[in-house]
Amino acid sequence: MESATAFYSGTEVIQRSISVDDTLTIKAGNVHSVYEISQCLQFINSNEFKKVALQFPDELLGDSGAVIKALEEGTTTKIFVLADTSYGSCCVDEIASQHANADCIIHYGSACLSPTSRLPVLYVFGQQPVDVAHCYDQITKCSQDSEEPVLLMYDVVYAHAIDELERLLHSTHPGVIVSKVNASPSTSSNSYRASDAVKPTALDDEHTSKDLSQDKDNSSSLLSKDNITDSSLSVDNTATNSASSQCHFGRTFTLADNCTIDDYAVFYIGSEGRTLTNLMMTFNKCPFYTYDPRTQIYRRETLNVNRALMKRYYLVEKGKDANVVGIVVGTLGVRDYLAVIAHLKEIIKKAGKKSYTFLVGKLNVAKLANFMEVDVFVLVSCPENSLLDNQEFYKPVLTPFEMELACNRAREWTGDYVTDFRQILPGASKHVPLPADNTPSETDVSLITGNLRTLGTDDDTESSVGDAKAVVARDNMAITTHSSAGEYLAGRSWRGLEQDLGNTPVTKAVEGMKGIAAGYANETDEGTQV
């Protein structure tokens, strides 16, 4: 097995290729139906947009030329394709679109449906093929295998077939709950599904009951006629005696009377990937059955969720041990990302730790390897991109929920897991207020290192400015911690380039080498200058 490395030679970087799965691309004759060209044109022309950005994931870029050609036949609007996304392809890249002064974005392919705030967005999921009759047979098998009632969920690329599937289930399996994919409308701009005649009606999950009481003028546009509430952010969503309508990750469903989602088995239509992992971690008390339309394989997922949760709790312990925390901005499009960054800074500071914010674009091992003075990183990203495999990274990468578990003494580990960082913000149902400022700091033993550690800061903390260290006195015990990454940097043998201002002689500028680093024009094959 090859080991991952954070450093590459120049030749490797230039010659390295990226494998793209082109099995999802379609034939030119199916462009109008699969990419819903008529709905896209109606969205563009009815809103009189002058400049439209098209966003494709890597696996669908092969169809971008045919899509642009089909759109240009029905509109005079200027249309362009985003060459690359700033972060994950499932998120709407509003920043790149704004750089090109786009009026709106049409997002194609799989989407995490995270709420946006800057530009109008049209979601076109792409109608990937699915054998509805065969899928119906597998749901029937699932309802027979499972002792719990069944909740049907699916990848958004199969949303086009759900209405037909629901009609078949209604007559024979009325107990199967079918979720519906919705794009959440935003307050300053609208998000739409191409298959919807009007924007979907659902409670905007940015607004809580407190917000709605302060802004009654917007309440009519945020509440649906079915009284749908977003359970992830409602202030009080405890068990109710009536049917419970919920919205999770852009998917709405109505549970039976006196039931919670933990009482259901989840049947998921789609391939293995981040969407399935996100759902399994969030609904970790539910058994999962999956059906992959591409392979037509039905199976009971045997992933040991408890083991996965324990791995994530190990990261929480690493967060408690950390002295320097790096907040990595993994999105500039998901709404409230600035609010959660501010929230993280507050809880990290009150826990007696130092935090630094990093904006590095798409995350990889090499980028984070440049900051070895940071003990742990916390990634602010959409739910589907926040759960990273930490095996390749030199330092652990936590989610905001895990970092709060490490820093907020009032939050306890219950086994429930939160991947959407907006749920831990004030006003959300998963929010846990910080302890009062006069609460004394706590000292315990690390489960990883066995060393004593303290969580929180005391008013009587004595700081030694000269040696850049902070000594916390508690119960005749002194605990020494790094006060900043500057101390770590001061102890390194190499600290980077030094300007040496005033001591460097001025020299005449001369013509340098031409070409690229892999082979300059004035170099021979052996690498010597000629």
DSSP track, 343-388: HHHHHHHHTT-EEEEE--SS--HHHHTT-TT-SEEEEE--HHHH--
- 497 domain residue, yes or no: no
What is the C-alpha to C-alpha distance for residues 487 and 503, in angstroms, rounded to an integer? 26
CA 283 → CA 265, 415, 431, distances in Å? 10, 10, 18
CA separation (Å) from 115 to 9, 106, 112, 278, 308? 40, 14, 9, 17, 27
Task: Give the Cα separation of 269 and 267 in Å (integer).
Answer: 7
- Number of separate domains in the chain: 3
Average pLDDT, stretch 231-260?
A: 64
Q: Tell me, what CATH number does 96's domain have?
A: 3.40.50.11840
Q: Averaged over 360-368, what is the pLDDT?
A: 86
- Please state, rounded to an integer, the average pLDDT across all residues of the chain: 76
d(CA 250, CA 202): 9
Helix (H) or strand (E) holding 473: strand 469-474
* Residue 502 included in any domain: no
> Are residue 137 and residue 283 in the same domain, yes or no?
yes
Q: Tell me the pLDDT tens digit for each residue of 209-219.
A: 333 233 333 32
3-state secondary structure of 55: strand
Residue-wise pLDDT tens digits, 408-426: 888 888 888 999 999 999 8
Amino acid at 459: D
Domain end, chosen from 104, 124, 144, is at: 124
CATH number for 247: 3.40.50.11850
Which whole-number Å values give the CA distances from 386 to 87, 212, 394, 434, 509, in the listed order?
11, 29, 17, 23, 48
Considering the domain architecture, whether residues 118 and 144 belong to the same structural domain is answered as no
Domain that holds residue 226: 132-212+219-303
CATH of the domain at 325: 3.40.50.11860
352 pLDDT above the threshold of 90: no
Residues 273 and 194 in one domain: yes
pLDDT for 122: 92
pLDDT reported for residue 183: 57
> Which pLDDT value is given to residue 335?
87
Please check whether residues 142 and 264 belong to one and the same domain: yes
Same domain as 181, residue 42: no
The gap from C-alpha 47 to its chain's centroid, in whole angstroms, comes to 30
Residues 399, 289 share a domain: no
How confident is the model at residue 172, as a pLDDT?
87
Q: Is the pLDDT of residue 44 over 90?
A: yes
Give the distance, in angstroms, between the CA of residue 73 and the centroid of all CA atoms in the same chain: 36
> What's the average model confidence in pLDDT over 252-267?
88
pLDDT tens-digit series, residues 182-197: 754 333 345 566 655 3
The pLDDT, as a whole number, for residue 53 is: 93
Q: Pick left, alpha or beta for residue 60 (phi over 0 → left; psi -120 to 50 → alpha; otherwise beta).
A: alpha
pLDDT of residue 6: 44
> For the residues 328-334, what does the mean pLDDT come to?
87
Look up residue 208 and give its amino acid. Answer: T
Q: Does 476 map to a domain? A: yes
97: CB partners within 8 A, 6+ apart: 53, 55, 82, 105, 119
Cα distance between residue 33 and residue 63, in whole Å: 13
* Residues 217, 214: Cα–Cα separation, whole Å: 9
Taken in order 469, 472, 477, 479, the sign of the CA dihedral is: negative
Contact 87, 332 (CB under 8 A): yes
Q: How confident is the model at residue 359 (pLDDT cuts 50, 70, 90)?
A: confident
Long-range contacts of 214-220 (CB under 8 A, 24+ apart): 218/187
Question: 78 burial class (0-12, 13-18, 19+ CB within 10 angstroms)?
Answer: middle
What was the pLDDT predicted at 243?
A: 52
Residues 59 and 164 in one domain: no
**pLDDT greater at residue 288 or residue 438:** 288
**What's the mean pLDDT in 142-163?**
90
Closest residue by Cα to residue 386 from 424, 434, 354, 348: 424
- Of the chain, the percentage scoring pLDDT greater than 90 comes to 28
pLDDT digits (tens, 9 = 90+) for 475-502: 333 333 444 566 666 666 766 666 777 7
Answer whether 246's CB lies under 8 Å from 253's CB: yes
Averaged pLDDT for residues 79-95:
85
Average pLDDT over every residue of 39-51: 92
Compute CA 417 distance to the chain's CA centroid, rounded to the nearest angstrom. 14
User: Is 416 part of a structural domain of the chain?
Assistant: yes
- Is the pTM value of this prediction over 0.75? no
User: Confidence band (pLDDT; 50, 70, 90) for 398?
Assistant: very high
Has residue 389 been placed in a domain? yes
Question: Quick check: 365 pLDDT over 80?
Answer: yes
pLDDT digits (tens, 9 = 90+) for 372-381: 889 999 999 9
DSSP 316-341: HHHHHH-SEEEEEE--SSSTTHHHHH
Residue 511 lies in a domain: no
Q: Is residue 149 part of a domain?
A: yes
Return the number of other C-beta atoms located less than 10 Å from residue 1's C-beta: 3
Most confident of 44-48, 200-204, 411-415: 44-48
pLDDT, position 103: 93
What 8-state DSSP symbol labels residue 2? Answer: P
Same domain, 425 and 326: yes
Same-domain pairing of 99 and 140? no
User: Quick one: average pLDDT of 298-323?
Assistant: 85
pLDDT of residue 457: 62
Both 321 and 464 in one domain: the answer is yes
Residue 43's nearest CA partner among 107, 89, 127 is: 107
E strand or H helix that includes residue 268: strand 265-269
Residues listed for the chain: 530
Domain co-membership, 312 together with 431? yes
Decide which of 127 and 207 is more confident: 127
Token duo for residue 239: 């068990």
pLDDT reported for residue 490: 67
Residue 13 maps to a domain: no
Last residue of a domain, one of 303, 328, 353: 303
Same domain, 232 and 90: no
**Helix (H/G/I), strand (E/B), else coil: 311:** helix
Kindly report, residue by residue over 204-240, the tens digit of the pLDDT.
333 333 332 333 333 222 222 233 333 333 333 333 3
The pLDDT of residue 324 is: 92
Specify the pLDDT at position 51. Answer: 93
Residue at which a domain ends, from 259, 274, 303? 303
Higher model confidence: residue 206 or residue 28? 28
Model confidence at 147, pLDDT cuts 50, 70, 90, reads confident
